[in-house]
Chain A
Amino acid sequence: MAQHQVKFGTGLPVALTTVDKIVNWGRSNSLWVLTYGLACCGIEMMASGASRYDFDRFGTIFRASPRQAEVMVIAGTLTKKHAEFIRRLYDQMAEPKWVISMGSCANTGGMFNTYATVQGADRVIPVDLYLPGCAPRPETLQYAVMMLQKKIRREPANQNKNIPQKRFI
Chain B
Amino acid sequence: MREYKPKDNVQAKAYYNDRFYVAPQLAKLDPNSDEIFGSDVSKLKANFEILEAYIQKDELVIFINYSKNVEVLKFLRDELNYSFLMEMSAVDFLAKRNGFEIFYEMLSLTKRKRIRVKTFLAKGLAIETVENLFRSANFAEREMFDMFGIQVNNHSFLKRIMMPDDWNGHPLLKTYPLQGDESAQWYEVDKIFGKEAREIIGPEIRDSARVDRYDTERFARLGHEVAKGTDISKSEPNTDNHQFQEKGGVFLVKNLNKSQKILTEQERRDR
User: Are A and B subunits of one complex?
Assistant: yes
Which residues from chain A sit less than 8 Å from chain B, CB to CB?
3, 15, 17, 21-22, 25, 29, 80-81, 83-84, 87, 108-110, 113-116, 118-120, 122-124, 130, 143, 146-147, 149-150, 153, 166-169
A108 vs B171: C-alpha distance when bound (angstroms): 21
A108 vs B164: C-alpha distance when bound (angstroms): 21
Q: B235 → chain A, closest Cβ, in Å? A: 22
Residue B214 CB within 8 A of the other chain: no
Contact assessment for B246 and A123 in the assembled complex, using a CB-CB cutoff below 8 Å: no
Give which listed residue, A29, A113, A146, contacts B178 with CB less than 8 A: A113
Question: In the complex, how many residues of chain B place their beta carbon closer than 8 angstroms to a beta carbon of chain A?
Answer: 36
Give which listed residue, A15, A147, A168, contacts B193 with CB less than 8 A: A168
Contact assessment for B171 and A169 in the assembled complex, using a CB-CB cutoff below 8 Å: no
A120 vs B219: C-alpha distance when bound (angstroms): 13
- Set of chain A residues within 8 Å of B171, measured between Cβ atoms: 115-116
A53 vs B206: C-alpha distance when bound (angstroms): 35
Residue B52 CB within 8 A of the other chain: no
Contact assessment for A150 and B206 in the assembled complex, using a CB-CB cutoff below 8 Å: no
Contact assessment for A3 and B251 in the assembled complex, using a CB-CB cutoff below 8 Å: yes
Q: Ordered nearest first, which 7 A-B pairs have the shortest CB separation? A: A115-B180, A83-B188, A146-B244, A119-B204, A80-B187, A115-B184, A81-B164
- Set of chain B residues within 8 Å of A87, measured between Cβ atoms: 192
A87 vs B193: C-alpha distance when bound (angstroms): 10
Contact assessment for A114 and B163 in the assembled complex, using a CB-CB cutoff below 8 Å: no
Give which listed residue, B162, B192, B246, contacts A153 with CB less than 8 A: B246
6 extra A-B contacts, CB within 8 A, seeds A25-B250, A116-B171: A87-B192, A109-B206, A123-B189, A130-B219, A147-B222, A149-B244
Contact assessment for B200 and A17 in the assembled complex, using a CB-CB cutoff below 8 Å: no
- Set of chain B residues within 8 Å of A83, measured between Cβ atoms: 187-188, 191-192
How many inter-chain contacts with C-beta < 8 Å in the A-B complex? 87
Most B C-beta atoms less than 10 A away, residue of A87, A115, A150, A166: A115
Given A25-B251, A119-B205, CB of A143 within 8 Å of CB of B200: no
Contact assessment for A114 and B164 in the assembled complex, using a CB-CB cutoff below 8 Å: no
Give which listed residue, A22, A118, A119, A166, contacts B206 with CB less than 8 A: A119
Contact assessment for B192 and A167 in the assembled complex, using a CB-CB cutoff below 8 Å: no
A123 vs B189: C-alpha distance when bound (angstroms): 8
**Least CB separation from A130: chain B residue:** B219
- Set of chain B residues within 8 Å of A29, measured between Cβ atoms: 253
**Which residues of B199-257 are within 8 A (CB) of A?**
200-201, 204-206, 208, 218-219, 222, 241, 244-246, 250-253
A140 vs B192: C-alpha distance when bound (angstroms): 31
- Set of chain B residues within 8 Å of A147, measured between Cβ atoms: 222, 244
Residue B84 CB within 8 A of the other chain: no
Residue B110 CB within 8 A of the other chain: no
Interface residues as binary, B156-200 with A (CB distance below 8 Å gives 1, 0 otherwise): 000000111000000100001111110011011101110001001
A11 vs B174: C-alpha distance when bound (angstroms): 80
Q: A70 → chain B, closest Cβ, in Å? A: 19
* 19 sampled A-B residue pairs with Cβ under 8 A: A21-B251, A22-B251, A25-B250, A25-B251, A84-B192, A109-B204, A113-B178, A114-B179, A115-B171, A115-B179, A115-B181, A119-B205, A120-B204, A120-B205, A130-B219, A150-B241, A166-B200, A168-B200, A169-B200
**Least CB separation from B241: chain A residue:** A150
A31 vs B253: C-alpha distance when bound (angstroms): 15
Q: B262 → chain A, closest Cβ, in Å? A: 16
